Structure 1
Amino acid sequence: MNLRNKYQEKLQRAIAQNDFSNAIIFVKALDIINRISIGESVELGNKEWELTLKNDLEEDFIPDINKRLSLSASSIETYIQCPLKYRFQQIDKIPPKPNNPTLIFGSIIHKVLENFHETKGELSEQKMIDILNKEWESVEFEYSIRKKKFKEQAVEILKRYVEICSKDKPDVLATEYEFVFDIDDVRIRGKIDRIDNGTSGKKVVDYKTSKKSSSAKDSIQLAIYCIFLQEHDKGSLKGIPESATLYFLRDKKQPKYSHSFTKPELVMIQNKIKEVAQNIRASYFEPITGVHCEWCDYKNLACPAWES
C-alpha cells in the first residue's frame, strides 16, 4: 500500500467513527503528501502527527498523481466549482454524508424513468406509479416523515412527466447509455440519461431533480455527451446531437432548457477539460467560496475558506 492510500484509509476510518479531530489531522497529512509528490518542499513541525508523517515519508515511496486521469462530467464540474472539494472527494476519498436524502431521491427518480422507458407498452400514469412503488420499497431514509414527504414529491413529479410525455411522446433510442473516451491522456466516463430520435438528428436529455434551474449552454455535462457522440461513438448514434436538454423535473413552468452545441463550442469545452486535468496534476486544490459552501459535505472538515 502506498502512503497516500494508507492515510486515505486512516481518514475514512476516523470519519466512520466520528473522530473528527483525527480526521482533520489526516486531511492535513494528505495535503502535505500531495504537495511533496509534485516536488514541493514542505517543512514539518514537531507535533506528534507531523513526526509520524515525517517517519512515514522516509520509509515509503510517494507516487505522483496518475498520468492518465479518469474524470466524469460531475467530477469536472466539482473541480470547477471548488478544487478543494474535488480533492476531498476524488483524491482523499473522503465519503460524503451517509444517507443523503437528496441524493437518494435523485437516484430513485432516475431509476424509475429508466424503467419507464425501457419497458414496452403505453406510457401511462399507473405504469409510472407502479414502477415508483416497487423502487421505493428498497429505500431507507433517516426519518419516516421525510420518506413520506419525498414520496409525495416523487408522485407529483412523475405524474407531471407522464402528462408532458403524453402530449409530446419521445422516440427513445437509449436510456442510461454508458460511455468512455479519451481527450488526449484524460479518460472521460459517463452515462447519458436518455437519447431520443429527433426530426434532424439525435437528442440527448439529462434529468435534474434540483430545485434551481440552469442554462443548458453552460452545462459541461451536456457538452461532454455531445463530444462523445460527435467523435467517439461508433454506432448509429454518432454525430453532434440536434439538441441537448436539461430536464428540471421539479420545474412546473419551464422544465426543459435546451441548446444545440456547435463544433467551436465543443472545442472550447475540450480545452477546458484539458485545463482542469493540468491543474489537477499540478495539485492545485485551492478552495472557491460561494453559495455552494452552504450544502458542502466537507465544509467543517479542515476547509480553510469555511473556517475563515
Structure 2
Amino acid sequence: MTVTVETNATLAQAPEPAAEPAQAPRRPSLSPSRAADFKTCPLLYRFRTIDRLPERKSLAAVRGTLVHSVLERLYDLPAAQRTVEGALELLEPAWVELREEPGVAELFEVAQGEGAETDVNAPESLEAWLASAGKLVERYFTLEDPRRIEPEGREELVEVTLPDGLLLRGYVDRLDVARNGALRVVDYKTGSMPREAFESKALFQMKFYALVLWRTRGVVAAQLKLIYLGDGDALTYAPDEEELLRFERTLLAIWSAIERAVSTGDFRPNKTRLCGWCDHQAVCPAFGGTPPPFPAEAAAAAGWRTPLAIVEAD
C-alpha cells in the first residue's frame, strides 16, 4: 500500500497506519516424535497432539533436556575451551534455567517425599541426579572431540512442505557440514544403544531429518549419527535417495491414516508393553477408561479437517 503524507506550515496530515499483514492460516504438521506416536498408538497421538492432555515430567526426561542443553552450549565456547572441565562448568547455569520450567523443581520434592511414587532408579538427592547428568556429559568426550568440530547448526528447525501439502518439521540436535558440502546429522541420546533388532526404529527420526534436508538442500546426508551417552556407543548410517523416497511414501501413508482418524474422530488404542509408561491409562479404553469427547472445534481451529469442519463445508 502506498501512503502519501501532505505537510504545510499550518497542517500536517498523519499517514494512515499500515494494515497488519494477514497471518497464514494454521495447519497441522508432522514431526518425527508425533509420527512415532501414531505408529505406536493412534490414541496416544490424539491425546498428545489434538487433546493436548498434560503429562508428568520424568527425572530421566529432564536429565536428557539438561544434557542436551549443555552439549548445545558447549559449541558456543572457543574450540580450545571445549573440554570436559569446560562442559561441566556449563551444567550448573543450564540447571538454574531448567528448574524454572513448570513442574521441574517439584519433581525432586515428589521423588524424595515419604511414600511417594517415583521413577524407577530415582536418585536419592538432587546432587546425585546432577552428578549422573555430569557423567553423561563426560562420556560424550569419549565419543567425539568437540575441539575439532564446528557445527553449522544446533537445535536447528528443519522443515519442508511436500508436493501433496504435508508439512514436515523437526529439530536437529546438530548439523555438521564438511568442506566438500557433505552433511552429517547428529542426535544425542542419554540412554543406551538399542539391540540390532530395534535399530530401524531408532533410525526413523534420523531418516526423517535426512528426508527434510534432502528436499530443502538437494543433498543426501552422508552420515546419520546417533550418540548414546548411556553406554558410550554410537550408531551411524548412510541413507541413499531410493531409501529416502521409500521413507517419504511411508510418511505420506502415516499422514493419510492420521487424516482419516481425525476426519472421523476414531483413534484406536494399541495395547503394548509401552503402556506401562503412559500417563493416560485412566482415559484409555484398553484399561477400562473413557476418552474425553473428541475436541472437534479445537482441532478444526488448528487446521484439521474434522467431522465438524466437514459438516460445515457441506
Give the TM-score normalised by structure 1: 0.69
Paired residue type of 1:75 = R
**Deviation digits for residues 114-147 of structure 1 (CA, Å, limit 9, x no counterpart):** 0001322322111101111211223223236343
Task: Tell me the equivalent position of 2:70.
Answer: 112
Q: Establish whether residue 174 from structure 1 lines up as the match of residue 158 from structure 2.
A: no
Task: Tell me the equivalent position of 2:18.
Answer: none
Q: 1:209 aligns with which of 187, 190, 193?
A: 190
Q: Establish whether residue 293 from structure 1 lines up as the match of residue 278 from structure 2.
A: no
**Deviation digits for residues 81-125 of structure 1 (CA, Å, limit 9, x no counterpart):** 11110011111111111x422221111111111000132232211
Q: Establish whether residue 152 from structure 1 lines up as the match of residue 131 from structure 2.
A: yes
Q: 1:251 aligns with which of 231, 245, 262?
A: 231
Q: What root-mean-square deviation, in Å, do the aligned CA atoms of Structure 1 and Structure 2 show?
A: 2.5
Paired residue type of 1:277 = W
Q: 1:100 aligns with which of 45, 58, 61?
A: 58
Task: Tell me the equivalent position of 1:137.
Answer: 96
Q: 1:177-192 alignment to 2 at 5 Å?
A: 177-183=156-162, 184-192=164-172
Q: For this pair of structures, how many residues does the alignment match?
A: 235
Q: 1:1-308 alignment to 2 at 5 Å?
A: 68-97=27-56, 99-122=57-80, 123-138=82-97, 139=99, 140=105, 141-143=107-109, 145-166=124-145, 169-183=148-162, 184-198=164-178, 201-211=182-192, 213=194, 214-215=198-199, 219-233=203-217, 239-252=219-232, 255-283=233-261, 284-299=266-281, 301-307=282-288
**Deviation digits for residues 124-176 of structure 1 (CA, Å, limit 9, x no counterpart):** 11110111121122322323634333212111111121233239943422211
Deviation at 1:67, TM superposition (A): 10
In the alignment, is the contact (CA less than 8 A) between 1:76 and 1:276 conserved in 2? Answer: yes
Which has the larger Rg?
2
**Unaligned residue ranges in structure 1 (runs of 5+):** 1-65
Cα separation, 1, equivalents of 2:138 and 2:148: 14
Paired residue type of 1:207 = Y
Task: Tell me the equivalent position of 1:63.
Answer: none
Counterpart secondary structure, 1:179: strand
Residues 168 and 119 of structure 1: CA distance in aligned 2, closer, same or farther (over 3 Å): closer
Cα separation, 2, equivalents of 1:67 and 1:133: 38
In the alignment, is the contact (CA less than 8 A) between 1:216 and 1:259 conserved in 2? Answer: no
Paired residue type of 2:44 = K
Paired residue type of 2:45 = Y
Cα separation, 2, equivalents of 1:287 and 1:179: 30
Cα separation, 1, equivalents of 2:149 and 2:86: 16
Paired residue type of 1:244 = L
Residues 218 and 102 of structure 1: CA distance in aligned 2, closer, same or farther (over 3 Å): closer
Cα separation, 1, equivalents of 2:67 and 2:138: 12
Paired residue type of 2:140 = Y
**Unaligned residue ranges in structure 2 (runs of 5+):** 1-24, 100-104, 113-123, 290-314
Cα separation, 2, equivalents of 1:96 and 1:105: 16
Residues 177 and 216 of structure 1: CA distance in aligned 2, closer, same or farther (over 3 Å): farther
In the alignment, is the contact (CA less than 8 A) between 1:216 and 1:222 conserved in 2? Answer: no
